[in-house]
Structure 1
Amino acid sequence: MLLEVADIEVSYGAVPALRGVRLKVAEGEIVTLLGANGAGKTTTLRSISGLLRPRRGEIYLDGRPLSSIPAHTLVGLGVGHVPEGRRVFAGMTVQENLLMGAYHDRRHAREDAERVFTLFPRLAERASQLGGTLSGGEQQMLAIGRALMSRPRLMLLDEPSMGLAPRIIQTIFDVIVEINRAGVAVLLVEQNAVQALRIAHRGYVLENGQVALTGSGTDLLADDRVRQAYLGEDIPIG
C-alpha cells in the first residue's frame, strides 16, 4: 500500500480536528475526500504532508512511518502537496515558481518544466510573468505544476477547483486524470463532489473529524446519503 493513515488524531489546542481517521491510497489510485467545511479534510492532507503532527496514530508511506520525518524531506520521498488557495510565490516568475518545486533535486528540472508546459500551455506563454499577476486558474495550474516538479508518487490536492470558471475546472480535472494515468496516485479534496467522484476510484466521507462512509466513486455517487448531503438529489449519476 502506497499510503496508509492509521487511526490518527489531530487537535488544534484543546479542539479535536481528526478522531481515529483511517484511509488508504494504493499505487495508481485517485481517492477523494468529501465532507462539509470543518470536517477535517484539509487537516488530513496537512497531516500526511508533515505540516501537522498527529497526537496519536501513524501515517505510513510504503510501510514506512512518517511521524518523525520533516515535511521538506517528505517531498524527496515522493509526496507532493498542492495547498488550498494555491499559494504561489507572487514575486517570482512562473519559471522560478516551477524551479522552487524542484529545490530538492534539480537534475531533471528542465525536462520536468517542459512536461508542465505541455500539460498547461498557458503557463508556457507566461513563463516570464510574475506568479502574482496570473489569473486564479493560471495560479492553480502553476501550483499543480510546481508540485509535479518534485516528481511525486503521491499528489495531495486541496480544493483545486475553488473559485474557478467551469471551463478552467474541466481543464484541471482533465489534467488530474492525465497525471494519474502517468503513474501518480492522487488524494483529492474537492468541493465539486460530482466531478471528484466521477474520476475517483474510491472515496471517503468525513464528518466531524471521523470517516463516516467509504466506497467506490460510483457507489458513493449513487448513495442516497451522499447525494442528499453533497450532490443534490437531481444530480445524474452517469
Structure 2
Amino acid sequence: MSTTAQLREESGEAGTPDAPLLELRGMRVFYGAIEALKGIDLTVGKGEIVALLGSNGAGKTTTLRTVSGMLQPRHGEVLLRGERIDGIKSHELVRFGIGHVPEGRRVFATMTVLENLEMGAYKFSSVDSGDLDRAFTLFPRLAERRSQQAGTLSGGEQQMLAIGRALMGRPELLLLDEPSMGLAPLIVQQIFEIIKEINDQGTTVLLVEQNATQALGLADRGYVLETGSVAMSGPAGDLLADSRIRAAYLGEGAA
C-alpha cells in the first residue's frame, strides 16, 4: 500500500469510492505445501453482518487470520475500502479499523478485566472513558468483575471480555471467530444479541460460526467454505432455506 493510502486510512478518510468495506480477490494461502485457501473471492459491505460457514478445516479461521494480517496470502489480494492491506503487519492493521476476536477467546489470564480492556485501546495515546463505558454497558457482567483476573472468569464471560477488548480499538470491521464455541445455549443467545447490537451501532461484522441457524438468522449474507473454496454464497435467508445447508449443518435430510 502506498504512503498516501496509509495516511488516508489513518486519518479516517474513505478509500476507493463505492468499494466494499472488505474484499478478498483470488486469495490463496498455504501452510507449507498445503493449500488452505484455494483462490477465494469474498466481499463484505459496510454495515453488513456476513457469516462464513463450513466444517472444521474448511478454511474459515485461515480466512480471518489472513484478513487481520496474521497470515499472508501467497496469491491474491485483501482490500479494505478499495486499498490493498495484504502485507501489512497484524498489529498495524488495528489502526486501519480492523478488530479480531480469535477462536478460543485468548484473554490475558493473569491480567484483570479492566487491564484486558485497556490493552484493546493500545493504538490510542490514552484509554477513553467513553469506550470503557460502552464495553461495560454492552457487558454489565464485566463491570461487576472489572478487578477480577480474566483467567478466573467463566467461558461466557471470557468471550464477552474478548469482544469488549476488540471494541476498545473502535473497529469499523469486527472479525469474530466461533463466538459460541463451548458456551451454554442461554449464553450463546446473549452473545448473538450483543453482536446484533454492535452491528446496529455501526460496526460491520464478519462472523465465522458453526452454528448455522444462529449465524444465518443474524447475518445479511453468507458464504459456505468447503476445503478452502467457496461452495455456496448468497442472502442468509436463501442459504438457511437451502436443503443442502439444512442437511449439512442442521441435521436434516436433503429434500
Tell whether the structures are fold-level matches, with TM greater than 0.5.
yes
Deviation at 1:232, TM superposition (A): 2.2
1:131 to 147, 150, 166: 150
| Structure 1 ranges of 4+ moved more than 2 A | 106-109
C-alpha contact (below 8 Å) 2:118/2:127 kept by paired residues:
no
Q: Compute the RMSD of aligned alpha carbons.
A: 0.9
Aligned to 1:193: 212
* Conservation of the 8 A alpha-carbon contact between 2:50 and 2:220: yes
1:99–1:109 Cα contact (<8 Å) kept = no
Partner Cα distance (1:119, 1:231) in 2: 30
1:158 corresponds to which of 167, 177, 180: 177
- 1:184 maps to 2:230: no
* Residue 56 of structure 2 corresponds to residue 32 of structure 1: no
Say if 2:90 is the partner of 1:61.
Answer: no
Say if 2:49 is the partner of 1:13.
no
Letter in 2 for 1:171: Q
SS at match of 2:58: coil
State the shift of 1:111 in Å.
1.1
Match of 2:119 among 100, 103, 108: 100
Question: Hey, what does 1:167 align to over in structure 2?
Answer: 186
State the partner residue of 2:251. 232
Distance in 1 (CA, whole Å) between partners of 2:128 and 2:251 is 44
Q: Deviations over 1:113-141 (max 9, x none)?
A: 11000000000000000000000000000
Query: Which one of the candidate residues 199, 209, 215 is aligned to 2:228?
Result: 209
**Secondary structure in 1 matching 2:42:** strand
Task: Quote how far apart the aligned CAs of 1:109 are.
Answer: 2.5
Which amino acid in 2 is paired with 1:34?
Answer: L
**2:128 aligned with 1:119, yes or no?**
no
Residue 107 (structure 2) pairs with residue 88 (structure 1): yes
Hey, what's the Cα distance between the residues in 2 that align with 1:106 and 1:166? Answer: 39
What is the CA–CA distance in structure 2 between the aligned matches of 1:217 and 1:232, rounded to whole Å? 18
TM-score, normalization: structure 2? 0.90
Structure 2 portions without partners, runs of 5+:
1-19
Separation in structure 1 between the aligned mates of residue 85 and residue 37 of structure 2, nearest angstrom? 17
**What is residue 14 of structure 2 aligned with on the other side?**
none
Deviates more, 1:165-174 or 1:103-112: 103-112
User: Does structure 2 retain, via aligned residues, the 8 Å contact 1:94–1:131?
Assistant: yes
SS in 2 for 1:183: coil
